[in-house]
Structure 1
């Protein structure tokens, strides 16, 4: 190399870039084994179910009988109509509960006065099961769609509001103090620091709220429903129609699992800035 030539250094990725690359590689490596384990667990579960049904445990219907019944309900349009009705109720109640829970949780976490005023009510209603409010909902709201959605809304709200509140309370004070030292006002600190730092808690609360919403669905559809998975299962119970009950259970589980996976995907995309251990 001549004296006039200047050596060019290769660009060395910074710590953040290396962390992102390592996380991406780790995710790719862990995806296939996790998917394989899920498939193995599914096969083992269906196999154990088939063996129990074959052994005649409490007249348990086997996977083939349940699949045949599901095919019949799909062919006559019953299952799609019921699934859409239940999905509409869950989505409405869950969306309303989450939309209200996030600002209420922020208020409780950011303003001590709001916390003192709202926390007793939140904690009180958390100890009262939403299902216990069904008689009151019927008396006050009638027997239409409103009381069904209200019970689901309450279950989702109470599960999400505490997570949002805890997310604000758990923000590192060092981050808030550093932003204020740099001249940020309270509104800027809240939007730029508190909200992003609270996002993981909010998303976890949303996942818990979604599970609570689906868990409340069957009881909510006790309120004079004419369609829905819970309604269909209750009708099947009267005639001891176990395959139809299993179809309803599996449909609820599959829909809830798909919605949970979507929330988990959103959580991973919105919290990429977090360090992973």
Structure 2
């Protein structure tokens, strides 16, 4: 009997120790995560070897006033948003039909997919000079670079989703006399919608990550262009501020996509981990 009670004690203690953790809401964990990040940031700002790269949080916050005084803060954000959204929009418009055609027709897949996989492994910085030679400097090459980067990611994601649609659904639709147009609208479109939303989420992230490369094409404004300029003058506080702003914009994009995904794919069964 004593052996049984000793075995039960750790289990009871473990349940009691995790009970208070389960009561913390998700917003509470968000606050805890933010406090941990600030604490880690503060430690880095106090260590001599990292203090120059990670200045104090108050210096970074004060750099907002510095960039506003230079009259470039809002124009940089607006310029980058225009480039990212334009490039993402064009990338999505091109990726959607090509991905569907690749999944629908084997010859198209065999011709296009190898090149998509090949170019996808090339960093955008590698082909930026070629884009500048062809399109000149300004916003046009920025949009082209972001379009290429987002297209490569979204086309593969959508293609994999459409390709993995249950073939039984297609066969059943054909048995019932459905034509290609009906199969596309009533089978392919609803079944591939979750993958399209995933592609949109990945595409926005890729658009932001390729921003530095895109704005190295002679841009006169933009977050990526300003980070490079601040790096040349060793102004780490405003440079870190702009890096944080890119991350915040990425989080906002992700939240908006999740909100849209919840409205369009509410029928999809989901499991929270």
Q: Same fold (TM over 0.5)?
A: yes
Please report how far the alpha carbon of residue 201 of structure 1 lies from its aligned counterpart in structure 2 after TM superposition: 1.1
* Distance in 1 between residues matched to 2:26 and 2:178, nearest whole Å: 44
Selected match of 2:91 from 88, 93, 97: 97
**Matches of residues 182-197 of structure 1 in structure 2 within 5 Å?**
182-197=176-191
Q: Alignment partner of 2:177: what SS?
A: coil
Q: Which residue of 1 aligns with 2:269?
A: 275
Which residue is equivalent to 1:110? 104
How far is the alpha carbon of 1:75 from its aligned partner? 5.1
The two structures have a TM-score, normalised by structure 1, of: 0.85
Q: Do structure 1's residue 256 and structure 2's residue 250 form an aligned pair? A: yes
Hey, what's the Cα distance between the residues in 1 that align with 2:184 and 2:268? 18
TM-score by length of 2: 0.86
Matched with 2:38 is 46
2:66 maps to: 72
Once residues 34 and 159 of structure 1 are traced to their aligned partners in structure 2, the CA distance between those partners, rounded to angstroms, is 30
Aligned mates of 2:43, 2:119 — CA distance in 1: 43
Task: Tell me how far apart the structure 2 counterparts of residues 276 and 259 of structure 1 sit (CA, whole Å).
Answer: 21
Residue among 26, 29, 35 paired with 1:37:
29
Deviation track 1:143-170 (CA, whole Å, cap 9, x = no partner) reads 1211111111111000000011111111
CA distance in 2, matches of 1:51, 1:102: 46
Please list the CA deviations of residues 206-234 of structure 1 after superposition, one character each: whole Å capped at 9, or x if unmatched: 21111111011012111111111111111
Q: Secondary structure in 2 aligned to 1:44? A: helix
Which 5+ residue runs of structure 2 have no aligned equivalent? 1-21
SS of equivalent to 1:183: coil
The aligned residue for residue 23 of structure 1 is none
Per the alignment, residue 116 of structure 2 pairs with 122
Q: Summarize the alignment of residues 237-252 of structure 1 with structure 2, pairs less than 5 Å apart.
A: 237-252=231-246
- Within 2, Cα distance between the matches of 1:184 and 1:35? 48
SS at match of 2:25: helix
Report if the CA contact (8 A) 2:138-2:220 is conserved. Answer: no
State which drifts further: 66-75 or 196-205. 66-75
Corresponding pairs, count: 247
Residue 60 of structure 2 contacts residue 238 of structure 2 at CA under 8 Å; is this kept in 1? yes
Partner residue, 2:48: 56
1:201 aligns with 2:195: yes
Deviation at 1:125, TM superposition (A): 1.4
The match for 1:17 is none
1:274 and 1:118 map into 2 onto residues whose CA distance is 31
- Residue 36 of structure 1 and its aligned partner are, at CA, apart by 2.0
| Deviations 1:228-247, CA, capped at 9 Å, x for gaps | 11111111111110001111
Q: What root-mean-square deviation, in Å, do the aligned CA atoms of Structure 1 and Structure 2 show? A: 1.6
